[in-house]
Amino acid sequence: MLSHIRRSFFAVFILLVLSACSDSRDFSLTQDEFQAIVNEGFPDPQIVTVDLPATARAHLYLQTPEIHFGDSRKSLNWIMPGEVDVDFAGKFSSGPMSLVLEGTSELNIREGEKAVFLDKVKISSKDIAVKSDLVQMLVLEALADIVAKRLDNLLLFTVTKDSPLADIISVKGAGYRIEPDSIIFSVKADK
């Protein structure tokens, strides 16, 4: 009789452990696999308009970022090439200049839009092939902080129905964490 009770208790314990494990679904991607999803889903070029001091406006034409997993469990590093064209009150244009931004950000998963956006963007480095001293004086000083604010909520990629992330991203409460060699998307079941 005692043996039967132990077996029943053990079976109930195993069922509880298994049901607790099923409350969460994880999907892991290597850095290369995640980069392939970004390459496929990033709208290239993505145009961002930034108002600068002295009635200047910059138009950034951003290309697909190169993603690197960093030391943080939430932030990833990226390098984003592109071009910038600065317009000074409609009277003078810099013409297209080569641009490379380096930074970090978190991800904002929007299940309703089935998309992933950059969030909490910090620009650590900017390299612009400046063509004039006026552009350098007016643009380079203010660009990093202003652009970082404009890159918050920048679309990183949309999730197509045939994407390996489709089931995870479309569920409310989807999250992620970054490991040294992978990014793990997860969703916890509602209780």
User: Tell me: the pLDDT tens digits for 118-135?
Assistant: 999 998 887 777 666 656
pTM of the model: 0.77
Q: Is residue 61 part of a domain?
A: yes
- Residue at 172: amino acid letter: K
Q: Please state the domain count of the chain.
A: 1
* Angle ∠(73,122,138) on CA atoms, nearest 5: 170
The CA-atom distances, in angstroms, between 43 and each of 64, 125, 141, 155 are 8, 23, 28, 8
Q: Which tokens go with 159?
A: 């999730």
Q: Is residue 143 part of a domain?
A: yes
**Cβ within 8 Å of residue 109, ≥6 positions away:** 116, 169, 174, 175, 176, 185
Q: Is residue 20 scored above 50 in pLDDT? A: no
CATH classification at residue 66: 3.15.10.40
- State how far the Cα of 113 lies from the Cα of 123, in Å rounded to an integer: 26
Q: Is residue 29 part of a domain?
A: yes
- State how far the Cα of 132 lies from the Cα of 113, in Å rounded to an integer: 41
Helices (H) and strands (E) in the chain, counts: 5, 11
Q: Is residue 162 part of a domain?
A: yes
Q: Report the share of the chain in percent with pLDDT over 70.
A: 77
Q: Which residue has the higher pLDDT, 8 or 144?
A: 144
What is the average per-residue pLDDT within 77-92? 85
Q: Is residue 60 part of a domain?
A: yes
pLDDT in tens, 47-64: 998 887 777 788 889 999
Q: Is residue 112 scored above 90 in pLDDT? A: no
Confidence of residue 165 (pLDDT cuts 50, 70, 90): confident
The residue segments making up the domain with residue 173 are: 23-188
Confidence of residue 105 (pLDDT cuts 50, 70, 90): very high
Q: Is residue 32 part of a domain?
A: yes
Q: Is residue 185 scored above 70 in pLDDT? A: yes
- State how far the Cα of 89 lies from the Cα of 87, in Å rounded to an integer: 6
Supply the mean pLDDT for the chain.
78
Q: Is residue 101 part of a domain?
A: yes
* Angle ∠(145,52,104) on CA atoms, nearest 5: 25
Q: Is residue 75 part of a domain?
A: yes
Q: Is residue 89 scored above 90 in pLDDT? A: no
Residue 178's pLDDT is what? 92
Q: What does the buried/exposed string (b/e) look like for 13-33 if buried means 16 or more CB atoms within 10 Å of the residue's CB? A: eeeeeeeeeeeeeebebebee
Place of tokens 């930074």: 103
